[in-house]
């Protein structure tokens, strides 16, 4: 198992900060769209596209690539920002988010934009598609990993558990799911709305290998993914504990920010916080 060097971690942190900034700017520009989830998943997206995934932005259909399926499509602003930084399309295109004629649809549409593995938005179907990909890959002896990024809230959807059950039966070693465990959903906290806990034990009962990690710690997440790849008898669920709205203090852990639009002064403050990020990045504007 390889560990991430400090230099690499620093590089990923800086990339994640840029991606957070571009994510927020694109949502501000669009005047609508989800923001808490994209912010808390910025670190994981950065880790995936800038270190973990076997992929080629110049050849998005490369058959041997790893697949990253975004199940909770509403957090697509961060996927768009990440794909742009990875080289799938120009960063300048981020400002077209949610506008008529854009390739950056309000929820991701596979055929509109290179780099997307599926169309998603309605919750609970991404894991099923990932299971299908994993089964098909195994039939063909293809050594690609299928990564499925999911929300915690979509574990309230029955279809998720249909897929969990099938993946467990099929012992899909090539399937790695990552849950954004930020504890919030539109109407409040998950444990108040429809409790998910004990979520780890639920997955274990369905014959999955489960790892818990700090979703904002690149080293920890990287180790979890490396471990998942060497588990050959089971699919793996990585429960990534994250802070909703991570990086913007007034948004952190606040469920109303699941899909709330910014007021102008809030937008300014959010961007300021992200730009400085505890002094790690020099502010562009004062």
Partner 1 sequence: MDLHNLIEIKAIVINPKAKLVENILELEKLEQVPTRNGYGEGLVEVGKKNPNVVVLCADLTESTRSEAFRKEFPERFVEMGVAEQNMASVASGMNAMGKIPYISSYAMFSPGRNWEQLRTTVCYNERHVIVGGAHAGVSVGPDGATHQAIEDIAITRVIANMTVVVPCDQHEARKATIVVADLEGPVYLRFAREKTPVFTTFDTPFEVGKAEILFETKGKPDVAIIACGPLVHNAILAAAELEKNGIKVRVINNHTVKPMDEKTIVQAAYDAGAFVTVEEHQINGGMGSAVAEVITRNFPVPIEFIGVQNRFGESGSPNELIKHFGMAPEHIVKAAKKAIRRK
Binding site for partner 1 (CB under 8 A): 67, 69, 109-111, 117-122, 124-125, 128-137, 139-140, 142, 158-159, 162-163, 165-166
Q: Strands, DSSP E only, in the chain?
A: 67-70, 146-151, 175-181, 184-185, 188-189, 209-214, 236-241
Rounded least distance, CB 225 to partner 1, Å: 20
Q: Are 136 and 97 in contact (CB under 8 A)?
A: no
Query: Quick one: 4 or 167, whose CB is closer to partner 1?
Result: 167
Rounded least distance, CB 256 to partner 1, Å: 27
Distance CA 224, CA 176 (A): 10
Rounded least distance, CB 267 to partner 1, Å: 31
Query: Quick one: 146 or 251, whose CB is closer to partner 1?
Result: 146
Cα torsion angle, 275, 276, 281, 284, sign: positive
Rounded least distance, CB 66 to partner 1, Å: 12
Rounded least distance, CB 161 to partner 1, Å: 9
Query: Quick one: 27 or 164, whose CB is closer to partner 1?
Result: 164
Query: Quick one: 158 or 278, whose CB is closer to partner 1?
Result: 158
Can you name the residues that pair with 238 across neighbouring β-strands?
178, 211
Mapped onto helix, strand or coil, the DSSP state of residue 210 is strand
Can you name the residues that pair with 179 across neighbouring β-strands?
150, 239
Query: Quick one: 65 or 95, whose CB is closer to partner 1?
Result: 65
Query: Quick one: 119 or 214, whose CB is closer to partner 1?
Result: 119
DSSP secondary structure letters along 21-70: HHHHHHHHHHT-S--HHHHHTHHHHHHIIIII----TT-TT-TTS-EEEE
Query: Quick one: 146 or 224, whose CB is closer to partner 1?
Result: 146
Rounded least distance, CB 136 to partner 1, Å: 4
Distance CA 196, CA 192 (A): 10
Rounded least distance, CB 129 to partner 1, Å: 4
Distance CA 139, CA 133 (A): 10
Q: Are 204 and 232 in contact (CB under 8 A)?
A: no
CA gyration radius, the chain: 18
């Amino acid at each position: 198992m390889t560990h991430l060097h400090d230099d690499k971690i620093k590089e990923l942190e800086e990339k994640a900060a840029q991606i957070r900034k571009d994510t927020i700017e694109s949502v501000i520009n669009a005047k609508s769209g989800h923001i808490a989830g994209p912010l808390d998943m910025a670190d994981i997206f950065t880790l995936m596209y800038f270190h973990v995934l076997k992929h080629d932005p110049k050849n998005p259909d490369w058959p041997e690539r790893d697949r990253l399926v975004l199940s909770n499509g509403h957090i697509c602003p961060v996927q768009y920002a990440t794909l742009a930084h990875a080289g799938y399309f120009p960063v300048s295109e981020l400002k077209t988010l949610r506008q008529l004629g854009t390739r950056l649809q309000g929820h991701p549409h596979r055929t509109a934009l290179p780099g997307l593995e599926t169309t998603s938005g309605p919750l609970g179907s991404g894991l099923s598609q990932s299971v299908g990909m994993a089964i098909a890959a195994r039939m063909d002896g293809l050594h690609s990993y299928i990564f499925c990024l999911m929300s915690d809230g979509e574990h309230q959807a029955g279809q998720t558990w249909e897929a969990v059950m099938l993946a467990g039966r099929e012992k899909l070693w090539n399937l790695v799911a990552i849950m954004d465990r930020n504890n919030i959903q539109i109407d409040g906290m998950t444990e108040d709305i429809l409790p998910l806990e004990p979520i780890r034990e639920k997955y274990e009962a369905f014959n999955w290998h489960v790892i818990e990690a700090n979703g904002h710690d690149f080293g920890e997440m990287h180790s979890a993914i490396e471990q998942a790849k060497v588990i050959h008898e089971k699919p793996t669920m990585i429960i990534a504990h994250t802070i909703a709205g991570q990086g913007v203090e007034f948004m952190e852990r606040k469920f109303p920010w699941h899909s709330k639009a910014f007021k102008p002064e809030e937008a300014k403050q959010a961007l300021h916080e992200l730009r400085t990020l505890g002094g790690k990045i020099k502010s562009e504007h004062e």
